[in-house]
Amino acid sequence: MVDSALHSDFVAQLSAELGDHQAALLVDALMNSPQPTSVRLNPHKAIGTMPEGKQVAWCEWGRYLPERPRFTVDPHFQAGRYYVQEAASMFVGHLLTEALEGDIPQGIRVLDMCAAPGGKTTLYSSIVGSKGVVVANEVIRTRASILADNVMRWGVGNTVVTSNDPSHFGSLEGWFDVVAVDAPCSGEGMFRKSEEAREEWSPDNVRLCAARQRRIMADAWRALRPGGVFIYSTCTFNRTENEDNMAWLAEEFECEHIDIECPEEWGIVRTVADVAECFHFYPHRTTGEGLFAAVVRKGGESRGNSRPPKARKSPFGVVDKQSAAAVGKYIDKQAQVYLATIGENIYAYPQAHWDDIRVVCEQMSAIYSGVRVGQLFGKKFKPDHALSLSTIVSTSATPMVELSLEDAIRYLRREELGCVGELTDGLNLLLFEGAPIGYTKRIGPRTNSLMPKELRIFQQ
């Protein structure tokens, strides 16, 4: 007997594509098996006392947790030391490193076309590190804001968050070395944890999603240079949105095969669509939710990155030497950064990749980039919360105070700290188990939190 909560056409689709036995096992897993909890550690921040658990086979930083903690009130999560990410979704990082044969080239440019809420973006950011730039695009502005918050919290500083229609990236034709499309889909892989996804599913919606995915894929393909890597993923099972779309891509454009290592013991089902290597994650075979992923190389003569058209009006202003000196005290001396202003805020960018970041911000609608460092009021500098969570923050510019769990949570709620006497008058960098979680300013017997009000937590 099939659970009545699943659409009969969906079950029939599974049986047709997987066979009755495998379809029955998958349906049982979707409706009756527990949802695993997994996180991905931030390799660019000291790990310390972090969530411990079994490693995710295809991601060195992925961990399965034995139970689901209250992430919102965990200072480590708020400090960006790990990201709560579904384990199967981490596989795109394996595809990237395999496609590049484990060698991340200097100056690499990665476009994450459908990036919110930020799981795959922060994964690409970790893989690229100081060698390149990640552009994370989300067309829906409210979701783009959530994406920006997660990028800020991750703190690596090599990412630009944009909010553009995919067609706008035509102005950066052939500019990216890697383009990833985690396409909006019918969400079959989320049926176990989302009743809404089950209720919204229909054959018509599958067809509509597939057509929309092809439009996004075509726009994304244009932004990829010849010889570049194209990664496609969905959180759904059906061939229409998966293999059929990859076969369409190979028919419409020049695609080349990429060999990917994927051990059988991982439980991932491999298929082929024309020249594309395809991978299915089924919850009855792998520990995680449903996912489809595929990878190809763009054919054609590899000629390096094309030059973008002439910039529109630049959003950046110049930081003079005196201001740069005042701000630089709060930035780690080992960090090689370029400082620029956007409005009243000063931002820091990796010096080696400033030109690439500037190009993106001048061509696209960028809502966050690099690290927002803070503001100057005359000769006085007010550091931004984003600086405290970044990997470039100086730990010698201000006194540091280690907080208890209770005081760390008070800070995250923007409440008065219980350790005021331990703080130095003026600016203090607050830590929890060695991880910076924000700035506060002591003024006599009280504190003034520098954490933005919109980021405060409300859970008890």
Mean pLDDT of the 197-223 span: 96
What CATH number does domain 88-298 carry, 2.70.150.10, 3.40.50.150, 3.90.1010.10, 3.40.50.300? 3.40.50.150
| Choice between 211 and 311, residue whose per-residue pLDDT is larger | 211
> 343: burial class by Cβ within 10 Å (0-12, 13-18, 19+)?
exposed
Mean pLDDT of the 339-345 span: 97
Whether pLDDT at 1 is above 50: no
| Choice between 231 and 5, residue whose per-residue pLDDT is larger | 231
In degrees rounded to 5, what are phi and psi of residue 123?
Answer: -65, -45
Give me the chain's average pLDDT, please: 94
pTM for this model (two decimals) = 0.95
Q: Look-up: residue for tokens 């596989």?
A: 91
Q: How much is the pLDDT for 301?
A: 74
| Choice between 194 and 108, residue whose per-residue pLDDT is larger | 108
Q: Report whether 189 contacts 35 (CB < 8 A).
A: no
Whether pLDDT at 46 is above 90: no
Q: What span, in angstroms and rounded, lies between the C-alpha atoms of 263 and 132?
A: 29
Q: How much is the pLDDT for 49?
A: 57
Q: How much is the pLDDT for 460?
A: 60
pLDDT in tens, 300-335: 876 555 566 666 789 999 999 999 999 999 999 999
Q: How much is the pLDDT for 351?
A: 97
Q: For 211-226, b where at least 16 C-beta lie within 10 A, e where not — what string?
A: eebbebbebbbbbbbb
Q: How much is the pLDDT for 305?
A: 56
289 CB-near residues (< 8 Å, 6+ apart): 35, 86, 88, 189, 190, 192, 193, 235, 281, 283
pLDDT in tens, 241-292: 999 999 999 999 999 999 999 999 999 999 999 999 999 999 999 999 999 9
Architecture of domain 310-394: Roll (3.10)
Q: Report whether 191 contacts 197 (CB < 8 A).
A: yes
pLDDT in tens, 67-89: 998 999 999 999 999 999 999 99
Q: Does domain 398-460 have CATH number 3.40.50.720?
A: no
Mean pLDDT of the 336-344 span: 97
Closest by CA to 182, choosing from 265, 128, 126, 123, is 123
Q: What span, in angstroms and rounded, lies between the C-alpha atoms of 442 and 453?
A: 18
Q: Report whether 427 contacts 398 (CB < 8 A).
A: yes
Whether pLDDT at 186 is above 60: yes
Which residue spans of the chain are classified as CATH 3.10.450.720? Answer: 310-394, 398-460
pLDDT category of residue 50 using cuts at 50, 70 and 90? low
Whether pLDDT at 424 is above 70: yes
